[in-house]
Amino acid sequence: MNPNAKRLATGLLGLVVVHALWGLLRLPSRVAARRLSEIAQYREHGAVNYFLGATGKREDGGAAAVDWLLENSAPNAVVLWRGETKGAFELASGLLAPRWLVHRNHVSTAAREYRGRPLAGDARGIAVLVGAGERVELEFR
Amino acid sequence: MIRTLDLLTRGAFLGLAMFAILAHLLLLLGTTVPGWPLPVLLALGWGAANWTAQPLATARPHGQQHSRTRTRAIVALTILVITGTTWILALGATDTPSRFWDGLVTWDVRAKFLTLTPTLEQGYFRDPAVYAHSRDYPVLQPLLIALGNRTLGGEFGRLLFPLLYLLSTATIASTLLRARVRTEIATLAALAFAITPMLVNPTSGGADSGYGELFLTTAMLGAGAGILTRQPIQLAASLVLVVAAKPEGLLYALLPATVAFAHGDRRLCYAGVLGWTIGALAWLPVQYDLNHFGATPPAMLWFGICGVATLALGLVHGCERLGVTPRTRQRCVLVGAPLALLALPLLAGVLGSLGGTLTTYFGESDRAWERLPRLFSVLLGLADHALIRLRFVFAYWAVLLAAMMLWLRRRERPTANALGALLVLGAVTTFVPFLLSPEDDLEHHLRSTMSRLLLHWLGIAWLFVGWALNSAWPDRTTNNHPAGAPIDDPRIGSVLDTHDGGHAIAQPDA
């Protein structure tokens, strides 16, 4: 075999062994411990606060609005929305599933349901989730 | 045990591909997808893998006792590590839903709706007024999770992720063993893949993050395995899954056929075209259906897919009839691949009208041309994420070293390595999203996407490194046959090892 190729092959084998050892050494801390810590944090704060709450360095993304909707609407409810879809609203849509999110312009102001599903709200009126960039808010109509 | 591993992995790809075809057909017909076909088709896949299995000749530890002990130690360590990591990934996948943005927003939501009713005939998919973040994203992964949730309860459908992790690590080991790579090298390659930080870290795109990256990585690895061991069925089945896993799969799935064409392997080339065609016929009509809220896909879509396949098959057949040499074909691909990249804007008129994700990327025909000056920055980003940031530790350094080694050895043993060519084409395709995406902030786009794109090629990278390593230390018990060819293959010295399209008998290493 070409001596340069032989040296490269030996180097390659060494590199693969170092790669494997490096990976093995970091498994307990970076893979297991960090993952378990994330799981514990998720469970401690709950899904909504984990994504939208003011936990750690994160700004409050409007967790209270999503929490209110989860507590005060059935899973088959329809949540009206308006505003920006980018940012916190995307997360809110995931957290609120399987509720449908329907833009408020598609539903008349007098309506109390949409396609046979109840609209989320209370005595104050029908709830509207407002996407406002890095946070979501709740208003009633 | 090696034979069992080989059958299990190949059967899993075949069974999943058959399920993907059936599930997409049922979704398109507007019916509910039942759970029972999945285990049935997996069993069928394993049966078919067993039926089509060739005698398996693997390299064995030779010579002295200490060599066998070392091999056993490496195998035991690898099994221990992969078992432990799978356990951790299973906890990460099932203890909570996705803990990352795309996992929650893009993938989990659709799995939630499909868990309630595994059909597209529901408001979330059918009512344009209902907000859906990624309505037309591939549905195979959410559907598999949904069917798992319905069968096992809770979030246990997400066990799909540790199972895919197991399938991919097992595929690396079994493929290399089938290619008669020495056991210790095959095991080491599987271990090296299994501990890659980008794969196992709790991070965006990681194995249990809920993203589609692991599915696509596994499917691409299956395609690489089909190429290395020259198994057309494995290649075609994997490519069906590649197309159905993520949007970029439609492009990736063209590459194995291109590589097989360049190397003059007609069987693999036909298999590659067939896999892409079946995958596209299964997925693209469903994607159209999703984009247009249940509308019937236009005839143009079916004819377009079949037209592309017919053109490709005609080209292969024509080259065969004219006796075009692999060297000429390789030159054609070298010229054709960049031209195809530059011609992407021309596809805008065709694909842009289909809506959804395709329009997002192909809708503005001038975007790619305007962004050509970005190419160098993307290249730097590629090098940065592959080699410097250590998310892949030394995986891609190992690919570079292996490529250099094989290049230096080309006079001793001509090696036209199909996996290497596939990796080169893979590197070229990583440029595509940065040319076509609506995301203007290149730095942010590189940071959020490049590592995930590189992950798709990780399995193939380790197949390539394992195979290259073995060529430096060939198995002495069977050194009349190069790695990469089953021992009973009448064309030993396959296209992977020769320049003549696989018609010559390879010579043993000098």
Q: What backbone phi and psi angles, to 5 degrees, belong to B424? A: -65, -45
Q: Do the Cβ atoms of A9 and B133 come within 8 Å?
A: no
Structure tokens at B211: 């993203």
Average pLDDT across chain A, whole number: 92
Question: Residues of B495-508 as b/e, b for ≥16 C-beta within 10 angstroms?
Answer: bbbbbebbeeebee
Q: How close does chain A come to B392, measured CA to CA in Å?
A: 9
Q: Tell me how many domains chain A contains.
A: 1
CA of B408: which chain A residue's CA is closest? A5
Structure tokens at B232: 């057309």
Residue A114 lies in a domain: yes
> pLDDT tens-digit profile of A15-49?
999 999 999 999 999 999 999 999 999 999 999 99
Residue A32 lies in a domain: no
> pLDDT tens-digit profile of B263-319?
888 899 999 999 999 999 999 999 999 989 999 988 888 888 898 899 889 988 998
> pLDDT tens-digit profile of B175-213?
999 988 999 999 999 999 999 999 999 999 999 999 999
Q: Do the Cβ atoms of B116 and A98 come within 8 Å?
A: yes
Binned at pLDDT 50, 70 and 90, residue A137 comes out as very high
Q: Do the Cβ atoms of A35 and B197 come within 8 Å?
A: no
Q: Do the Cβ atoms of A93 and B189 come within 8 Å?
A: no
Residue A68 lies in a domain: yes
Structure tokens at B29: 């017909």
Instruction: Report residues of chain B scoring pLDDT below 70.
Output: 54-66, 338, 340-359, 362-365, 410-416, 474-510
Residues B506 and B493: beta-carbon distance below 8 Å:
yes
The pLDDT of residue B440 is: 77
Residues B244 and B205: beta-carbon distance below 8 Å:
no
CA distance B68 to B413: 28
CA distance B181 to B7: 17
Strands (E), chain A: 78-83, 100-103, 113-114, 117-118, 121-122, 125-132, 135-140
Residue labelled with tokens 């018990």: B477
Q: Do the Cβ atoms of B405 and A12 come within 8 Å?
A: yes
CA distance B36 to B22: 12
Q: How close does chain A come to B41, measured CA to CA in Å?
A: 30
Residue labelled with tokens 């606060």: A49
Residue A46 lies in a domain: no
CA of B191: which chain A residue's CA is closest? A20
Residue A75 lies in a domain: yes
A57, pLDDT greater than 70: no
Residue A76 lies in a domain: yes
Residue A20 lies in a domain: no
Q: What is the ipTM of this complex?
A: 0.94
User: What is the arithmetic mean of pLDDT over A83-96?
Assistant: 95
What stretch of H or E contains A102? strand A100-103
Of B96, B124, B398, the CB nearest to A43: B96
The pLDDT of residue B362 is: 67
Residue-number span of the structural domain to which A132 is assigned: 63-140
Residue A53 lies in a domain: no
**Alpha carbon B424 to chain centroid distance?**
14
How many CB atoms within 10 Å of residue B373?
7
What percent of chain A lies above the pLDDT cut of 90? 84
The pLDDT of residue B495 is: 37
Residue labelled with tokens 């209370």: A122
> pLDDT tens-digit profile of B312-357?
899 889 988 898 888 888 888 888 776 766 666 565 555 555 666 6
CA of B98: which chain A residue's CA is closest? A47
